[in-house]
């Protein structure tokens, strides 16, 4: 066996981090016959998809909106498994409820007929513009499926290298991508009601970026959500990593929790293993890093490789946020499962967060009221209310221990004024929160960014670092800061892509085919 830095090479694939991207990669690789070990710095599996239990309430701590469930289903199919045997998903209708400063309320539906009826009620004459936008979103989604999803790419150049530049389908797709146009501009080309446009704008918040600076291709998110719906896993979002962990364990994956990684060991441009914070060296044949892609290169790899990585492009962090978890002794019947309480001005809000780097004076708040779907989240008649308000990523001099108390008041005033939660304070029985600083420290993300790196840039903004390293053979990337980006389905897809590329590269030998990787 080869020896490098005193380490013997090994045919094990190491996964750094057990977020949804890491779990996806682990399941796919194990299903294809590889020996897999997952290294997780925390005591729990699942990364941001963690759970908080306090005083009889249960809160999802991280992502809460599941769209595009076919990506998740594909991972179970890799192992010949039926996802319904591991997860119970409930489709949500409406997909979310929107509250505006003028006290109007608009529901979002995936079904075109339902949405037309809702828009005709809310803003007569706006349904035709919405229909035109959905057609454009559908087209951009089809383009994304053809040459953006399910393969490891990191730039427009990479998309051409996946096939001939003379391929007529590819050339036609490029001509229809609305290159040079933004999400905000594309929406407003068809949708004239400012409130409806603001609701559609907010889908790009799945990637933590400003719709005024993100490329039009990301309008595809609208059709992704409309076509497959919005779903809730019974047991909360936490049920997804639990289901994937169960699958991975059945496939023979080893999990090592409370095991942070100090560095990735390489020699002559190839992966050799990892060194843990405790000083242990573990030989590995390949690595999928589900840690933040930028911090993986800068901190776990370092040296000349990190310098080359830094020179390729800018890596602006996406937005961060304040998350508040409230255990209430009452429910608010006018809330849906998912709710958005919109700011007076989308332009002013995004300018504050993304241009000035300060919290918005009048922010948009996302509320999740899961007791509408699953009563077990709280005692009878209660609610486990989740509140998320986007903020800038951590800036020098911002001390959130001092900023939070005043900003909490801004948020509560907003909810009282725009969403009718005037007596919220008097019904709180449990209260916890996370600030951008907490998120930075808890999850090891870049400057507290919830969604990895931004998607800003009219031409290249939709691209993240590719899922395979071009500097180190045997190093692959998964997670929200890697292609194809943040949001639950994209992060799950990133793990599949990283695993599939590793499998194609054939640099690690498979183990004996697993007898349990068959349909059950």
* pLDDT score of 52: 97
**Nearest residue to 290 (alpha-carbon basis) of 22, 486, 480:** 22
* pLDDT score of 478: 97
* Banded model confidence at residue 489, pLDDT cuts 50, 70, 90: very high
Q: Give the whole-angstrom CA distance, residue 317 versus residue 145.
A: 26
- Residues 27-72: tens digit of each pLDDT: 999 999 999 999 999 999 999 999 999 999 999 999 999 999 999 9
Token couple for 334 = 């006018």
Split into its structural domains, the chain has a count of 3
* Banded model confidence at residue 463, pLDDT cuts 50, 70, 90: confident
Question: Sign of the C-alpha dihedral, residues 189, 193, 198, 204?
Answer: negative
Q: Is residue 517 part of a domain?
A: no
Residue 129 in this model has a pLDDT that exceeds 60: yes
Residue 434 shares a structural domain with residue 476: no
Average pLDDT over residues 341-346: 96
Task: Give the distance from CA 444 to its chain's centroid.
Answer: 15
Residue 161 shares a structural domain with residue 193: yes
Residue 146 shares a structural domain with residue 261: no
Residue 394 in this model has a pLDDT that exceeds 90: yes
Query: For residue 252, what are the contacts with CB-CB under 8 A and spacing of at least 6?
Result: 30, 35, 36, 514
Residue 391 shares a structural domain with residue 352: yes
Residue 513 in this model has a pLDDT that exceeds 90: no
Residue 215 shares a structural domain with residue 331: no
Single out the residue in 198, 228, 258 at which a domain terminates: 228
Q: Which residues are registered as beta bridge partners of 365?
A: 341, 389
- Helix, strand, or coil (residue 501): helix
**Host domain of residue 278:** 3-53+61-89+236-313+458-505
- Residues 130-148: tens digit of each pLDDT: 999 999 999 988 888 877 8
Mean pLDDT of the chain: 91
* pLDDT score of 180: 62
Residue 403 in this model has a pLDDT that exceeds 80: yes
Q: Is residue 431 part of a domain?
A: yes
Residue 167 in this model has a pLDDT that exceeds 70: no
Residue 13 in this model has a pLDDT that exceeds 60: yes
Is 170 within 8 Å of 160 (Cβ atoms)? yes
Average pLDDT over residues 158-182: 59
Q: Which residues are registered as beta bridge partners of 3?
A: 8
Average pLDDT over residues 161-188: 66
Residue 123 shares a structural domain with residue 14: no
Q: Is residue 97 part of a domain?
A: no
- Residues 202-250: tens digit of each pLDDT: 888 888 899 999 888 898 999 999 999 999 999 999 999 999 999 999 9
Token couple for 161 = 């290298």
**Nearest residue to 18 (alpha-carbon basis) of 235, 237, 241, 239:** 241
* pLDDT score of 181: 80
* pLDDT score of 147: 77
Residue 270 in this model has a pLDDT that exceeds 90: yes
- Residues 14-24: tens digit of each pLDDT: 999 999 999 99
Q: Is residue 98 part of a domain?
A: no
Residue 342 shares a structural domain with residue 359: yes
* pLDDT score of 216: 87
CATH of the domain at 265: 3.50.50.60
Residue 360 shares a structural domain with residue 441: yes
């Amino acid at each position: 066996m080869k020896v490098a830095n005193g380490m013997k090479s090994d045919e094990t694939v190491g996964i750094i981090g057990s977020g949804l991207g890491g779990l996806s990669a682990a399941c796919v690789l194990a299903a294809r016959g590889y020996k897999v070990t997952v290294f997780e710095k925390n005591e729990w599996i699942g990364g941001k998809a963690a759970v908080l239990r306090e005083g009889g309430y249960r809160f999802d701590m991280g992502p809460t909106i599941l769209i595009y469930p076919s990506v998740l289903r594909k991972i179970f199919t890799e192992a010949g498994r039926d996802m319904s045997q591991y997860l119970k998903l409930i489709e949500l209708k409406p997909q979310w409820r929107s509250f505006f400063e003028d006290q109007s309320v608009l529901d979002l539906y995936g079904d075109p007929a339902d949405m037309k009826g809702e828009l005709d009620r809310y803003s007569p004459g706006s349904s035709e513009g919405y229909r035109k936008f959905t057609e454009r979103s559908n087209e951009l989604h089809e383009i994304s499926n053809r040459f953006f999803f399910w393969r490891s790419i990191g730039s427009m150049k990479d998309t051409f290298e996946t096939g001939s530049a003379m391929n007529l389908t590819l050339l036609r797709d490029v001509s229809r991508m609305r290159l040079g146009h933004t999400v905000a501009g594309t929406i407003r080309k068809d949708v004239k009601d400012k409130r409806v446009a603001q609701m559609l704008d907010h889908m790009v918040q799945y990637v933590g970026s400003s719709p005024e600076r993100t490329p039009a291709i990301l309008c595809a998110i609208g059709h992704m959500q409309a076509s497959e719906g919005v779903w809730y896993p019974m047991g909360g979002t936490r049920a997804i990593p639990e289901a994937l962990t169960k699958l991975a364990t059945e496939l023979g994956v080893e999990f090592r929790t409370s095991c942070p990684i100090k560095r990735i060991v390489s020699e002559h441009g190839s992966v050799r293993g990892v060194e843990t914070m405790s000083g242990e060296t573990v030989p590995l044949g390949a690595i999928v890093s589900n840690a933040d892609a930028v911090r993986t290169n800068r901190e776990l790899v370092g040296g000349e490789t990190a310098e080359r990585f830094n020179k390729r492009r800018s890596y602006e962090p996406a937005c961060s946020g304040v998350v508040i978890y409230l255990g209430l002794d009452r429910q608010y019947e006018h809330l849906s499962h998912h709710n958005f309480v919109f700011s007076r001005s989308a332009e002013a809000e995004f300018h504050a967060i993304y241009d000035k780097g300060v919290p918005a004076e009048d922010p948009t708040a996302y509320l999740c009221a899961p007791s509408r779907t699953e009563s077990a989240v709280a005692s009878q008649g209660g609610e486990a209310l989740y509140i998320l308000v986007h903020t800038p990523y951590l800036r020098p001099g911002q001390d959130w221990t001092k900023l939070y108390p005043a900003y909490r008041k801004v948020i509560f005033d907003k909810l009282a004024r725009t969403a009718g939660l005037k007596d919220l304070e008097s019904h709180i029985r449990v209260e916890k929160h996370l600030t951008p600083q907490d998120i930075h420290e808890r999850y090891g993300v870049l400057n507290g960014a919830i969604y990895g790196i931004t998607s800003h840039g009219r031409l290249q903004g939709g691209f993240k670092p590719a899922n395979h390293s071009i500097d180190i053979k045997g190093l692959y990337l998964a997670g929200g800061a890697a292609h194809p980006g943040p949001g639950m389905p994209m992060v799950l897809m990133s793990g599949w892509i990283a695993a599939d590329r590793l499998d194609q590269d054939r640099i690690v030998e498979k183990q004996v085919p697993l007898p349990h990787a068959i349909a059950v």
